[in-house]
Amino acid sequence: MPTSLIEGNSILAVDIGAVNTRATYFDVVEGRYRFIGMGQSPTTSNPPVRNAMLGVQLAIENLQTLIGKPLMDDEGRLTIPSQPDGSGMDSMVTTLSLGSAIKTLIVGLLPDVSLKSVESLAQTTYIRVVDSINLNDPRHIDEQVDDIVRHSPELVLIAGGMDGGASHSTQKILEIIGLAAYLLPETKRPAVLYAGNKQLAQEVKGSLSNIASSIHISPNIRPTLEVEDLAPAQRELANMVVEIRQKQMPELEEARTLSGGIILPTSYAQGRMVRFLSSYYNSGKGVLSVDIGASAVSMGASFEGDLHLNVFPQLGLGEALDNLLKLTTLDEIARWLPLDIPASTVRDYLYQKSVYPGAIPATKEELAIEQAIVRQNLQLASSWMLQRLPGRFRPRNGLLPAFEPILAGGAAITSAATTGQKLLMLLDGLQPAGIATLALDQNNLLAMLGAIAEVNNILPVQVIDSGALGYLATVISPICDVAYGTPIVRAKLIRDDNSEMASEVKMGDLQILPLENGQTARLQLRPLHRADVGLGPGRAGEVDVIGSSLGIVIDARGRPLRLPTDVGQRRNLAQKWITTLGG
């Protein structure tokens, strides 16, 4: 890329999270865009400060110190565009994931058609569905209205009716929504997104314009019975999420102004990058992105540009932990513990962490509990995501489809003490099968790059090319239904210097084949007992691999992973796995 095409276009990306705010600077180095540095600060939207922009300012101040370049003037105002003396930046973008899940009412005509589609739309962002309405709703009209008023939703998502189809049924439901909105105080009236029969769009605007805080119209998410198209409505919904956050936190208007209007929900921006990467890597498999944060667990799966975005606010590592035991049990969390920790201690940690989401584990017991929660939340999220994927992407064995690569972000993973801890959390929580490359978004760049693509589509490509994502390990996870201790794979690692290492892997093993970081090699795999190493049942083959600090990992513990029922055996096994990976 000629330098002249990208010269002088430095960009500041700010991500305002539930716990941390990050400011990241990108600029041109030797004719190509590079990630220069990142500053961080606690997010300041909660008491006693209650102003998220203070955290932004502190993060930028820390960034200035790190890169040795002034980005603000003496009065703390951002310098945009950059100046002849080198200070400032040329543009700015913002992503955000702070705030409680938005209370949402979903509305559709038929439960298995438009209501299902609008539910899928709601699951792509930071939303908590509090109620739903459809034509088959058994409640009387006054009960439906009472329930809407009681829930007081901040957002209403409406779908239904094929383009050009009948409108009477939709109009009946709109009357219910209109009456409920009218009964709510003006300050609590919801925003409305209509994504149904396009012939009714103007009627919806006319009937709800005076009793909704705002009305947004997007193309029909179910234009025909066989077709579902969420993408246009997802973009409109992303804008509405930001709009609602601005009403909750008026100071965010300053961020929008500084960003030239480019302010996006973190999950949406990250989904944009996952869609791009699935085409960029062109591996013949899907690309999976996992981000486990305080506000939500987000999972984006893309297959040749076909994005399936899932956001689970109920699994966040912040205030949502208060209700986690409604979704799982203490025993299911405790089964991942390598230490003898009372159930009451685990429960107390959940409640304390929900009140103080920024707290860092201070003891080995607290660290073990937090990493157990990460494993369980990842397992829940991956299971739910699998249920939502179209049937053509779901393997018959009930496991996740093949992904290459798997990208992981979120401080609970990326800031873990050892590489082994990071990898083991992902392997236990996601349980990938076959051959997969795992990488870390250690600087939480994916969402920022997705937002930057709005103004500069060259920068994300060049930053990804520069190695901004940290390679974690190549993992081979065979699938085989034999007794533990039975040999299932013979592996031979042939290094570039022609030195070799052979190993026989038994069912239940977790093995490492040493290969130095960055070194390339050929890995020969010969399955036994029709084990599937990712090439098909019983099929042998060779794959090119790259070394890491962990070498090449063969995870033959089984898919799905079955833990011993005996507590003592389970803890000993967990300790053994941690020791194997250097945790």
CA 125 to chain centre: 10
Quick count: other Cβ atoms within 10 Å of Cβ 1? 12
Residue 1: predicted pLDDT: 36
What is the crossing angle of helices 364-388 and 419-430, to 10°?
40
Rounded to two decimals, the pTM is 0.93
Is the backbone of residue 536 left (phi > 0), alpha (psi -120 to 50) or beta?
A: left
pLDDT one-digit tens code per residue, 373-417: 999 999 999 999 999 998 889 888 889 999 999 999 999 999 999
**8-state DSSP, 92:** E
Alpha-carbon span 176 to 207, nearest angstrom: 11
Per-residue pLDDT tens for 484-526? 999 999 999 999 999 999 999 999 999 999 999 989 999 999 9
Question: Whose CA is closest to 215, among 230, 202, 232, 228?
Answer: 202
- The mean predicted confidence, pLDDT, of the chain is 93
For residue 5, the model assigns a pLDDT of: 42
Q: Which residues pair with 438 in a beta bridge?
A: 406, 473
Contact 278, 255 (CB under 8 A): no
Q: Report how far residue 82's alpha carbon sits from residue 9's, in angstroms, rounded to the nearest whole number.
A: 9
Helix, strand or coil for residue 524? strand
**Region of 581 on the Ramachandran plot (φ > 0 left; ψ -120 to 50 alpha; else beta):** alpha
E-strand spans in 468-582? 470-477, 487-495, 500-506, 510-513, 520-527, 541-546, 552-555
How far is it, in rounded angstroms, from Cα 238 to Cα 230? Answer: 12
Which segments within 296-386 are labelled E, that is strand?
A: 297-303, 306-312
HSE toward the beta carbon, residue 15, CA cutoff 13 A? 29
Percent above pLDDT 90 for the chain: 81
Backbone angles phi, psi at 550, to 5 degrees: -100, 0
So what's the pLDDT on residue 331? 95
What's the one-letter identity of residue 181? A
Domains of the chain: 3-96 (3.10.20), 102-248 (3.40.50.2300), 268-580 (no CATH)
- pLDDT of 3 higher than 50: no
Tracing tokens 């109920």 back to the chain, one arrives at 314
Name the residue with tokens 């994005």: 307
